[in-house]
Structure 1
Amino acid sequence: MDTPQNPAQAGDQPTMTDLKVPPLRIGDLVIDPPILQAPMAGFTNFAFRQIVREYGGVGLLATEMVNARGFHWLDENEAEFPDRLWGVEDEPRPLAVQIWDNQPDVMAKVGRRLVEEFQVSVVDINFGCPVKQVTEKAHSGSYLLRVPDRMGQIISRLVEACAPTPVTAKIRLGCSENTINANEIAQVVEESGASALTVHGRVAEQYFKGEADWERISEIKSYLKKIPLIGNGDLDSADKVYRAFRDYNVDGVMIARACLGRPWLFAQAAAAIQGRPIPAEPTLVEQRDCMLRHYDLVVDRFGPSKGTLLMRKFACCYAQAKPGARHFRSAVGNVSTPAEFYEVVEKHFPISPVPLPV
């Protein structure tokens, strides 16, 4: 695989000065720095976006992906908007909302609502999700890579409905190694009026296994005449982001799973491409405090019981690759109350004890 290697070690604070990365333009929207946060179902909610925004370094944040048909049903039945749109109306811009389905008219109606009522900055279409519930059952996400004409219809309708707000698309290289068609799809995306294309450097059948193929991402650039190419896959260090811009001819990058337990990664990546010293990793105490701040935001929204359950997976992300992470994950996976959560953090997160709430 050709993904960038040799990430800088925490605390080295290297400065990279031989690279000048211009802002990313998506339609009339200027994204600076050209570093995007990926939409991730179950993770990139308002609480997580708040944490990322506090550290800085991200040019465009995104919601979790929203089921357009489900949103449309809720709207027709005058029900509340999906939880995945929590915070969207009031938080700072720019902000993207990603939607998925396979019905052009439904997608267009939802896109228009997002533009008119929520004033979102970008409407992104998910053509990359490999999860069977989306692909096999709903014939959406990466399934649609098999039917480029349908993709074109969806994009065209959304572009018309959302104008002048830009519409973008996120894809994978193909459904399988034997059906890689990203070059063809890229042309369909551009000709249908999309303002940018994001490519995850794996095929759908890989899910997240193996390594992202950045050579194939780079190859797609020659098939685009005017819209920017955004690369995605395995960007887990500032050095890899730097090398993605330097070596693979992308206009922007999108950071996904690596940021879930390291929301400061965006600030490190931005420093790398701007020729500034790269901030060191936060101390373990600072990382624990970040996790607890995240927990407070989730509980404020969903209440102590549901908030604690939802925070389990986030807490596991914060512990990843740390000493004792296995014990922490095992323990935090069973908590159901704030008292239990704080007790597990005190006992198992790899730093000095924290006071339990009174």
Structure 2
Amino acid sequence: MSRPFPPPPFRIGDLVVDPPLLQAPMAGFTNAAFRQMVREYGGVGLIATEMVNARGFAWMDEHVAEHPERLWGVADEARPLAVQIWDNDPATMSKVGRRLVEEYQVSVVDINFGCPVRQVTEKAHSGSYLLRTPGRMFEIISRLVKACAPTPVTAKIRLGCSPETINCNEVARVVEEAGAAALTVHGRTAKDMFRGHADWDRISEIKSHLKQIPLIGNGDLDSAQKVVDAFKRYDVDGVMIARACLGRPWLFAQAAAALRGEPVPADPSLAQQRDCMLHHYELVKQRFGEEKGTVLMRKYACCYAQGKYGARHFRSHVANVSSADEFYRVVEEHFPMKSKEEMKAEMA
């Protein structure tokens, strides 16, 4: 299917998402430090937090007068900003949603109906587990929409719980009828986890089952060209970039340029990427302190090295650092400074 290009901005309620590029909520990764890195490079229309356990939020609020660590930075950072929450109890979800709107003035409250992790699904009967009970989804969404008004509520789903039980078209209709302002679809089932390839044909098909709310596609978008192709080939209003941006916060700026028809900026040099990672580390340390910040930064450092020559060697060293001195030493001695292409050229 040929689509209008360049894709126009779209609305989530009264919020204009421009460019139509969204950063996915990712547990353990999209904290305030990472969100700041993405903002500094630009090109993203809507940024999201990590997913927040609504029941945990409510318990902390009632017992210890604190809020979840995953809401670090939310009150003070730039808008627009979406906060994603999860649980299976409509009352708890609506209560937490209202707090996010009143106390944090968030731009969007997003509901996670897509997480495939066992701790969320089988143990908590939340996330993608709820795809098997569209009626329960309707109740959660409709209660949250009323509690959060006029702030828009959105939902993120998968195609279904398994390849044998794909029900995304039915669920999409339920999401819209319940009052959600937008729907994001990851093109895999929960059983697939992150294996195989996202089914963008299935995502695109959902559009015909929606009357007016925007459809956002998600899955396997790891380059500016793939973002362009998604808009040209599939019936979506926006796209969401997830894992591919973790070590490449500049990916949104590249995709935005491509959508404008401008030359795509080259990746930063490896030295610049190393400096970007070190800047990220400083932001993490400012919030968590040296010891905890260094441990937290290990996984981000591995993302920055991914796909480079010597990445495995670097990961084996950075995985054990526990102090700033160790981190800086490992980066100085082992961070990959040549791409795989450069190494192939040298060896040819």
What band does the TM-score fall into relative to the shorter chain?
over 0.9
User: Runs of at least 4 residues of structure 1 off by over 3 A?
Assistant: none
Higher relative contact order (CA 8 A, sep 6+): 1
Task: Give the whole-Å Cα distance in 2 for the aligned partners of 1:22 and 1:286.
Answer: 32
Q: How far off is 1:24 after superposition?
A: 1.5
Equivalent residue of 1:97, what SS? Answer: strand
Which residue does 2:343 correspond to in 1? none
Percent identity reads 76
Which residue does 1:133 correspond to in 2? 119
Q: Aligned match of 1:170 in 146, 149, 156?
A: 156
Which residue does 2:196 correspond to in 1? 210
Task: Give the whole-Å Cα distance in 1 for the aligned partners of 2:5 and 2:182.
Answer: 22
Which residue does 1:338 correspond to in 2? 324
1:301 aligns to 2:287 (yes or no): yes
1:119 aligns to 2:99 (yes or no): no
Task: Give the whole-Å Cα distance in 2 for the aligned partners of 1:151 and 1:226.
Answer: 19
Which residue does 1:40 correspond to in 2? 26
Equivalent residue of 1:84, what SS? Answer: helix
Task: Give the whole-Å Cα distance in 1 for the aligned partners of 2:121 and 2:247.
Answer: 27
1:234 aligns to 2:251 (yes or no): no
Q: Aligned match of 2:269 in 283, 295, 300?
A: 283
Q: Which amino acid aligns with 2:6?
A: K
List per-residue Cα deviations over 1:32-87 (Å, max 9, x = no partner). 00100000000000000000000000000000000000000011114321110000
Contact 1:108–1:157 (8 Å) recurs in 2: yes
Give the structure-2-normalised TM-score. 0.95
Which residue does 2:345 correspond to in 1? none
Q: Which amino acid aligns with 1:276?
A: E
Q: Aligned match of 2:303 in 310, 317, 330?
A: 317
Contact 1:19–1:275 (8 Å) recurs in 2: no
Which residue does 1:62 correspond to in 2? 48
The answer for unaligned runs of 5 or more in structure 1 is 3-17, 353-358
Q: How far off is 1:258 after superposition?
A: 0.1
Contact 1:99–1:123 (8 Å) recurs in 2: yes
Q: How far off is 1:276 after superposition?
A: 1.2
Q: Which amino acid aligns with 1:188?
A: V
Equivalent residue of 2:191, what SS? Answer: helix
Which residue does 2:169 correspond to in 1? 183
The answer for unaligned runs of 5 or more in structure 2 is 339-348
Task: Give the whole-Å Cα distance in 2 for the aligned partners of 1:141 and 1:324.
Answer: 37
Equivalent residue of 1:65, what SS? Answer: strand
Q: Which amino acid aligns with 1:204?
A: A
Contact 1:19–1:274 (8 Å) recurs in 2: no
Give the structure-1-normalised TM-score. 0.93
Task: Give the whole-Å Cα distance in 2 for the aligned partners of 1:315 and 1:134.
Answer: 26
- The Cα RMSD (Å) is 1.1
Equivalent residue of 1:267, what SS? Answer: helix
Report which stretch shifted further, 71-80 or 311-320. Answer: 71-80
Q: How far off is 1:19 after superposition?
A: 2.1
1:88 aligns to 2:62 (yes or no): no
Task: Give the whole-Å Cα distance in 1 for the aligned partners of 2:272 and 2:86.
Answer: 36
Task: Give the whole-Å Cα distance in 1 for the aligned partners of 2:6 and 2:222.
Answer: 21
Q: Aligned match of 2:62 in 64, 70, 76?
A: 76
Equivalent residue of 1:64, what SS? Answer: strand
Contact 1:176–1:205 (8 Å) recurs in 2: yes
